[in-house]
Structure 1
Amino acid sequence: MFAIAIVSVFFWAPSDADQGLSQRIFYFHVPIALTGYACFGWGAWKALRHLWKDDPNADLESYVAIHQGVIFGSLTLITGSIWAKISWGVWWVWSDDQLVLFLVLFLFYCAYFMLRYSVDPGPQRANLSAVYALFGVVLIPVSFLAIRLSHSFIHPVVFTRSGAQMTGTMLTTFCICLAAMLVLFVTLYQLELAGKRLDTRIRELKELLT
């Protein structure tokens, strides 16, 4: 999937008339950001299930999803800064609402881990983490919709009420890259979840043997 995405970005999609080759980072930056939103949203959904069903597995799944969201959030900020440097000549622009709001969202979820590990393992940690994750989900639509309220050319609106704002080739490339990022998230999510569960079983086994 990634091979197809890379070939599509660099050898199939046309160059942008204004930004030229640098615009191709759009095909990575935006799908990474959208995948980050999906991670945080999935983490919030699992947090809600934990509070509703009192399910320890849902707490772990929420934690792993948010952890993956922070990773994708880091990549979003990195690729966005590179794009800003090429387009604006600076690494960061504080006047851009989309940049600032995404940074706030990112830092909010980074603080999730500080809260989680400041409490001893148990129901209290799981419940506090779940409530915090649900509060954070409010920031997701605010950050996502900020791009529609701004007039920044570096953050183009991909989909509007009138349809996609890209040509067929560019839209197809964008969708391929988005699918690749989502597949990456699902893969990393499953791998980390399996690793965490294995670690829990090993620790439980050690406790039984001691």
Structure 2
Amino acid sequence: MTTDFLRETQAISKGLWPLAGIDEVGRGPLAGPVVAAAVILDPARVPEGLDDSKKLSAARREELFAIIAETALAVGIASVTALEIDSINIRQATLLAMRRAVAALPIQPAGVLVDGNDPPVLACPCEAVIGGDAQIASIAAASIVAKVTRDAMMARLCQRYPAYGFSAHAGYGTPQHRAALQAHGPCPEHRYSFAPVKGVWRR
């Protein structure tokens, strides 16, 4: 399976342009925000090497992030905080992040392709594509932008709360993170509605 610009080209031929790709990062961690990105690529300047961000090294993601920022027609980035996640649940928080990312685009899309099987409700047509971040260039670009952005956010949170090692695991429930959680309790950036935080500590 390879990532290409075919779906976007088809959309252009049908007059459904601009078309944005959306992806999110951070559904599963015990701490930190969920981050979504929306990207409208320039058909004449599609970066080479776009792929699901999880398949790329951190260095390659950073390189592609810079290229996307330089060449894309529009990029929208948004996040939903841990406090909001606890308030509305992770599914609703993810959909909210996606809607915020589309709203942040300086160019509003005529259509949207989103990774997964749970698309947000938008003012324009929106299609969910399972595995879209490994197939569709715009979604792959969004996955890279979201991942690099969230990793940077977690690195800043690591400076504020160094006991948890957020830079190393980005808030996921690794043995290191769980041990730190047991030793120090949660910080304000933890998701109190998630196990193992849920039922142990309260805000």
* TM-score of the two chains, using structure 2 as the length reference: 0.30
Bigger fraction of residues in strand: 2
Bigger fraction of residues in helix: 1
